[in-house]
Amino acid sequence: MAQTILVVDDDADVLHLCVQTLTRQGFTVLEAPGSAEAMQICSTHIGMIHLALVDAMLDPAVFQLRSEKRSNIRVPGHILARGLIEKRKALRVIMMSASSKADLKKNGIEVGDIPFLKKPFSREKLLATIRQELERRRFRVAS
């Protein structure tokens, strides 16, 4: 059974590259161009989501009015990561950004001990980081 990865990035080119690369490697890929879409997928997807690859610098929080009584809220990637983990306790997360961890921290974005992938990255680096985190998850669950 293929492992499922949720990719969240507001840069359409990066999203496409990640989806294409992961699909070719046999992963089932769910894609979201923002935090609201990612939370919707996380809430409604039936089945396991093994890992989320999240852009740390998603568009800043804005309200999007819907025809329903409540609105969707967009949040930065590091807050989204926490929300995804709250919904799915076994989910592993990898953060990615063109900014360094130090620059993110200066902007109030704390990545902490979440695995981090610096953009731009190669397909090989993307796959190696994801495989390493999925393996770590497997051993963590097994212990």
pLDDT digits (tens, 9 = 90+) for 27-58: 999 999 999 899 999 999 999 999 999 999 88
Distance, CA of 72 to CA of 139 (rounded, Å): 36
What lies within 8 Å, CB to CB, of 6 at 6+ separation is: 29, 30, 31, 32, 38, 41, 42, 49, 51, 52, 53, 84
- What does the pLDDT look like over 100-112, one tens digit per residue? 888 888 877 777 7
Please tell me which residue, 70 or 128, carries the higher pLDDT value: 128
pLDDT at 106: 81
Percent of the chain with pLDDT over 70: 83
Work out whether the CA dihedral 64, 53, 112, 56 comes out positive or negative.
negative
The model's pTM is 0.85
Distance, CA of 124 to CA of 21 (rounded, Å): 9
Give yes or no for residue 14 having a pLDDT over 80.
yes
Provide the b/e sequence for 21-58 (b: ≥16 CB within 10 Å). Answer: bbeebebbbbbbbbbbbbbebbeeeeeebbbbbbbbbb
pLDDT at 73: 60
Residue type, 119: K
